[in-house]
Amino acid sequence: MARRRDKVKEEVFTRRVCKDACAFYKPGKKEERCGGYAFLIRHITAGELRGVRVRKLAESDFSGYARLRLPDIEALLCGSCDFRIDGCDFAENCSGPPCGGYLITHRFWTNLESQD
């Protein structure tokens, strides 16, 4: 029963974090998980994730990445992200989009801050 529940949670997270929110997601390519995915799957439920509205950034959005940069989120996600080894344009200089995990974490973070 626990394995089934874990599989369902993983499917929800892959759909929402990777397919729905990540500009780097490529259907059919071996799925690799970013630091944001790893953080989110450990700290929130599938139900909480389903309640977050987020979308992939369109190319027209690609100029405003710096507005998404929050050092607290970077400390939680980016330092342990395997994609950082090859270079992450967002983490290095905001010249590329953040991953889906970062976008969703940013949404949670800013929602919490607005409630204070």
pLDDT grade, residue 5 (50/70/90)? Answer: confident
Contact 64, 95 (CB under 8 A): no
pLDDT digits (tens, 9 = 90+) for 59-106: 656 567 888 889 999 998 888 788 887 778 888 888 888 999 999 999
pTM: 0.84
Contact 106, 70 (CB under 8 A): yes
pLDDT value at position 63?
Answer: 63
3-state helix, strand, coil split of the chain in percent (to 5) is 65, 0, 35
Query: What mean pLDDT is predicted for residues 47-60?
Result: 78
